[in-house]
Amino acid sequence: MFLNKIFISIFCILFFYSTPGFSIRVESDYAYLVDYKTDQILFEKNSEKIIFPASMSKLMTLYVLFDYLDKGLVSMSDEFLISENAWRKGGALSDSSTMFAEVSSYISIENLIRGIVIHSGNDACIAIAEGLSGSEELFSIEMNFLAQELGMINSNFKNSTGLHNDEHYSTAKDLVILAKALIKDFPEYYHFFSEENFTWNGIFQPNRNNLLTEGLGIDGLKTGRTSESGFSIIVSSISNNSRLIAIIGGLPSKEKRTSEIRKLINFGQKGFKNFILFDEGEILDNVNVWGGRKTLVGISIPNEISLLLDIRGRRFLNAKYSYNDPIIAPIKKGEIIGKISILNDNNIIIESNLIANEDINKANIFRKVIEVSKYLLN
């Protein structure tokens, strides 16, 4: 048995698209733009640089809370106390990141979520942390546990709010992992991120994500700012059936943050076109079977493979696939028997398994004798 590797050109299946390609320069300390479905990187700048995530940290607080809700440990109608600690540290003494909750009041989890998502309320975050874990210190342990499970290997959370702490950090890449997980794991709660305003205690506040109404397809997620982090934002945007996740940070003003994230989203939406490279179930090749009632089995693509490609990406696209030759019977339909990699130049941009397209049972003893005889004669 040996590993058979085959290179194929897929340029011929792509037609040139008339829109001219373009590149951008993003004026931020870091930036990261990826396709939600495929993890394809469309733009990257310092994506693994250690950063202070500021209020983007609240996405991790929400992920922990949504996990509790999903497991039925708490419900939307449950109410948590606004302790004096939450009121002072999260509201009265903070830089206006508050839902204006009254000390000693009880607020439902549903409204605390709105206070976090829309108002960026530090008081709401601390109430959640104390209500679920007893303290922010214990809650941060849960935050870090789930962060590691998600693969956020360069993140460490010390509080639920994102208020500055030198040991509280993350990366653009990790925060994109988190944003994707929120959308994928808890779709039933994602609607909160697109709510445009919220009034609590008689005080009206618009969603701090001011791009929700700009016609860019943005439906969440979170802004952030401290004096140490600068202005930052992570967003999700849907256009032409593609969802993009984008993050920028380290900017000097809200206005600059808005213009730079707008530029990055426009680049992703207008500079790339979606191409279906292989259809679901498409048979790529027929390969040898050893010891089976059939001598060949088709290897196929289990799921559609599509990519967002700019003009250069379309020109230099190719693929390679590999499998053990021959495949040993018995074989089950859907069994993984190979792998395909899509490359741009020599860089792998997406990989997929290859599967058998039918069942093949073992051959009877007489057929095996014939196969061995042919092998020996060759």
Catalytic residues: 55, 58, 120
Residue 335: strand, helix, or coil:
coil
- What the block records as the tokens of 227 is 């004096």
Amino acid at site 363: A
* 208 half-sphere exposure, CB direction, 13 A CA radius: 25
Helix (H) or strand (E) holding 112: helix 109-117
Dist CA 55 CA 63 (whole Å): 14
Helix (H) or strand (E) holding 66: helix 58-70
**CA nearest neighbour of 354 among 366, 342, 364:** 342
- What the block records as the tokens of 202 is 């008689």
Helix (H) or strand (E) holding 21: none
Do 330 and 290 contact (CB within 8 A), yes or no?
no
In this structure, the strands spanning 336-344 and 347-356 are antiparallel
